[in-house]
Amino acid sequence: MPADAVLQSLVDRVAIEGVMVAYHRACDAPEGKGPLVAALFTEDGRWESVGRFATPGWEAVGREALEAKFDRNHERMPYALHHLTGGQVEVDGDAASGWWSYFQHCTHRGTTPLWIAGEYHVELRRQGARWLIAQMLVENHFTTPFDKGWVEVPHVATP
């Protein structure tokens, strides 16, 4: 691969990692989550809960729906801190896909401390000079009370 292509690939990967870090910072913001998250997605961007512990109907398509979904998280999860790990990114021109695992500690409805972990399966598109999320599938592996652990209580609903 020519040196300029290798350099561009590295630049793209760093930019995409930056989008994922910005997504977590937006999700963890004490206020204004909705607009911060929505701005990281394409106009037709999709966020969806998938997998064994998926919450039916937990999806949002388009920036307006994304903003509404994440704005409601101020009451639902007034405190959250995400940790992004294990990323893998494949770039193909102006499209990319990535996989990351995440771990989160948070407070549900202001009274219940939780551990949450899972995976992100993400499709991204370059629009102008920016990479944006076109689709994010969130696969939850556990949502468990802090004092119980994922073996005793592998999943609690967090409406």
pLDDT of 2 strictly over 90: no
Q: 53-78 burial, b if ≥16 CB within 10 A, otherwise e?
A: bebeeebbeebebbbebbbebeeebe
- 0.85 cut: is pTM over it? yes
Closest among 159, 74, 75, 78 to 113, alpha carbons compared? 78
The C-alpha atoms of residue 54 and residue 116 are separated, in whole angstroms, by 13
Q: What contacts 93, CB < 8 A, 6 or more positions away?
A: 126
For the stretch 6-15, pLDDT in tens is: 898 999 999 9
Task: Tell me the average pLDDT across 4-27.
Answer: 94
Q: Please give the structure tokens belonging to residue 31.
A: 């206020």
Task: Tell me the average pLDDT across 56-65.
Answer: 93
Structure-token match 């913001």, residue found:
29
For the stretch 106-152, pLDDT in tens is: 999 989 999 999 999 999 999 999 999 999 999 999 999 999 999 99
Go through the domains of the chain in sequence order and give each one's CATH number: 3-152 (3.10.450.50)
Task: Tell me the average pLDDT across 68-93.
Answer: 90
Percentage of the chain beyond pLDDT 70 is 100
- Rounded to the nearest 10°, the torsion over CA 71, 73, 75, 77 is -150
pLDDT of 95 strictly over 90: yes
Q: What pLDDT is stored for residue 40 in this prediction?
A: 98
According to DSSP, the β-strands at 130-145 and 41-50 are: parallel
